[in-house]
């Protein structure tokens, strides 16, 4: 086990009707609020009205930043920063999925910063202050509701980067708010959650038995609830299990003492910076190919993955065979739930392959399980065609 420091101050408020806690949060953080949301689904499904009715009852002054994009854009973030400064808001409430929360985090750290908020994403600066942020999550996927990560796309330069920004002070997770998530978004969310675990599971760090089992626990639980939630989108318990897994997959629990990878996320960010495809869809395509490209670095780990997560019977098989069977099972799972499996599914050919490979390694080689250069990335992307 490696040395580590873990600190996660987010208050997680989970379950049916937990939106009622919003009242006490207004009392705690103030009545002058920036409300951040996305394309309007929260209006269609009544959540917007529920939120506004609580805020209005408390006589809040609400400024709105609607229309946050699925890959949230720097221009939108800057609009939010401007609004906060103009209106001198007390705190930010993000209602939506990971993109909305990521954009709100960028706004939260951008407001008290004198420079360009993009500095945090290009690693020119590290956020030191932030406005208070609360979230109401509507999609099981990114884990952004309980971590300090934020991913923003600069559409002018076609760059998509992540940064450490600020933890939400609180996040309200009501599984019922995910009932209306469309099938494809549900699938992408599941791919995203699984991918987060992969990034933290494939490691060379020795002596991490509990971290290993925790990761396997999440993967098994996601797999066993995925088809259930797709069959019945209003299955409260299945939605709750997936939602809870999404948070636990990326709230700092899994990487305690573990060297994590994150190369595949960099590759996906490069792809969706150029093509604006759904993040979860990109990950479902790239991950099995990344696995095939790197598994020999630690076949033992991939063997365990195959046996523990996918129930591969190891008897009479070589390590390589077992590992490859596990990778095939991963790919089959993604396909079974309806995720894309090739870049061609998004009409992406090899036109921009070198460009994407370059964009994936902006600050030098990526990944810890196997260090990848732009040549490696190009090779993996070729396997994805």
**CB of 291 vs its own copies, minimal distance in Å:** 23
Using rule CB under 8 A, residue 24 touches its own copies? no
If the CB atoms of residues 203 and 289 are measured against its own copies, the closer one turns out to be 203
Of the candidate residues 4, 123, 336, 382, the single one contacting its own copies (CB under 8 A)? 4
Of the candidate residues 126, 210, 332, 385, the single one contacting its own copies (CB under 8 A)? 210
Using rule CB under 8 A, residue 164 touches its own copies? no
If the CB atoms of residues 68 and 141 are measured against its own copies, the closer one turns out to be 141
**CB of 68 vs its own copies, minimal distance in Å:** 27
**CB of 110 vs its own copies, minimal distance in Å:** 25
If the CB atoms of residues 21 and 317 are measured against its own copies, the closer one turns out to be 21
Query: If 0-12 CB within 10 Å is exposed, 13-18 middle and 19+ buried, where does residue 3 land?
Result: exposed
Residue 282 · residue 341 · CB < 8 Å: no
List the interface residues with its own copies, window 86-115 (CB under 8 A). none
Using rule CB under 8 A, residue 204 touches its own copies? no
Of the candidates 36, 55, 156, which has an alpha carbon nearest to the alpha carbon of residue 106?
36
Q: How many CB atoms lie within 10 A of CB 42?
A: 23
Using rule CB under 8 A, residue 307 touches its own copies? no
Binding track over 234-273 against its own copies, x by CB under 8 A: ---x--xx--xx--x----x--xx----------------
CA distance 203 to 54: 46
Query: If 0-12 CB within 10 Å is exposed, 13-18 middle and 19+ buried, where does residue 292 land?
Result: middle
CA distance 112 to 129: 6
Of the candidate residues 14, 155, 179, 275, the single one contacting its own copies (CB under 8 A)? 14
Q: Which residues of 161-184 are buried (b: 16+ CB within 10 A; e: fewer)?
A: bbbebbbbbbbbbbbbbbbbbeee
Residue 190 · residue 218 · CB < 8 Å: no
Of the candidate residues 27, 49, 57, 207, the single one contacting its own copies (CB under 8 A)? 207
Residue 381 · residue 342 · CB < 8 Å: no
Joined together, the tokens standing for residue 379 give 């090779």
Using rule CB under 8 A, residue 323 touches its own copies? no
Residue with tokens 């221009």: 75
**CB of 222 vs its own copies, minimal distance in Å:** 9
First to last CA, the chain: 37
Using rule CB under 8 A, residue 28 touches its own copies? no
Binding site for its own copies (CB under 8 A): 1-18, 21, 206-207, 209-210, 213-214, 216-218, 220-221, 224-225, 237, 240-241, 244-245, 248, 253, 256-257
């Amino acid at each position: 086990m490696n040395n580590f420091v873990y600190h996660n101050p987010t208050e997680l408020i989970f379950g049916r009707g937990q939106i009622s806690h919003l009242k006490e949060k207004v009392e705690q953080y103030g009545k002058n609020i920036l409300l951040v949301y996305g394309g309007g689904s929260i209006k269609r499904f009544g959540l917007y009205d529920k939120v506004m009715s609580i805020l209005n009852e408390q006589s809040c002054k609400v400024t709105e930043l609607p229309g946050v994009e699925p890959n949230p854009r720097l221009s939108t973030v800057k609009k939010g920063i401007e609004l906060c400064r103009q209106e001198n808001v007390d705190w930010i409430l993000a209602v939506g999925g990971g993109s909305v929360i990521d954009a709100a985090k960028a706004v939260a750290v951008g407001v008290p910063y004198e420079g360009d908020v993009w500095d945090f994403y290009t690693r020119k600066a590290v956020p030191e202050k932030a406005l208070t942020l609360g979230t109401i999550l509507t999609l099981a996927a990114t884990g952004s509701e309980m971590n300090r990560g934020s991913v923003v796309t600069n559409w002018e330069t076609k760059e998509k980067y992540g940064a450490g920004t600020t933890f939400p002070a609180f996040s309200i997770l009501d599984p019922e708010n995910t009932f209306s998530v469309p099938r494809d978004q549900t699938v992408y969310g599941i791919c995203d959650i699984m991918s987060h675990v992969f990034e933290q599971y494939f490691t060379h760090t020795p002596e991490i038995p509990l971290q290993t089992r925790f990761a396997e626990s999440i993967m098994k639980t996601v797999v066993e609830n995925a088809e259930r939630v797709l069959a019945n989108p209003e299955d409260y318990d299945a939605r709750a299990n997936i939602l809870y897994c999404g948070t636990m997959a990326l709230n700092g629990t899994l990487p305690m003492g573990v060297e994590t990878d994150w190369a595949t996320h960099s590759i996906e960010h490069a792809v969706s910076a150029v093509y604006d495809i759904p993040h979860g869809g990109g990950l479902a395509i790239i991950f099995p190919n990344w696995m095939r490209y790197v598994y020999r670095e630690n076949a033992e780990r991939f063997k365990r993955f195959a046996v523990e997560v996918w129930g591969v019977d190891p008897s009479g098989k070589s390590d390589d065979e077992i590992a490859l069977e596990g990778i095939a099972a991963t790919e089959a799972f993604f396909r079974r739930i309806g995720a894309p499996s090739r870049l061609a599914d998004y009409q992406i050919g090899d036109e921009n392959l070198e460009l994407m490979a370059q964009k994936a390694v902006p600050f030098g080689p990526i990944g810890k399980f196997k260090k990848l250069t732009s040549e490696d990335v190009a090779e993996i992307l070729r396997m994805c065609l």
